Amino acid sequence: MLCLLMLTVCACAGQAVSDAGPGRYSVTETSTHGVVAARERAVKLANRYCGRSSQQAVVESFDDLRLGGVIGDPTSNLVFRCGAPNTTALSR
């Protein structure tokens, strides 16, 4: 179990969130399951990054490469900012 946890931590540590300008960030993810899965992985990582400050990722854009990545797997680059969680449904 500990080995699995360490592998998960190491895999996440390799995917860095980059500063993309004033209040904007960028992350790139790859998936063997297609570009939609790569997008989902990028959003998950962005939400995890923003979650450290009790916020959520607000997607600005995706830049997809259907044959990108290290071995040709689909890749998606996500540009996002961190914002307050959407609570409008709860406040009504």
Domains of the chain by range and CATH? 18-85 (3.30.1660)
* Predicted model pTM: 0.71
Q: What pLDDT score does 9 carry?
A: 37
Burial class (CB in 10 A: 0-12, 13-18, 19+), 64: middle
Structure tokens at 4: 């699995």
Nearest partner of 79 among 37, 34, 49, judged by Cα: 49
Q: What pLDDT score does 41 carry?
A: 95
| Tens place of pLDDT per residue across the chain (92 aa) | 433 333 333 344 446 899 999 999 999 999 889 899 999 999 999 999 999 999 999 999 999 887 755 567 889 999 999 998 875 544 44
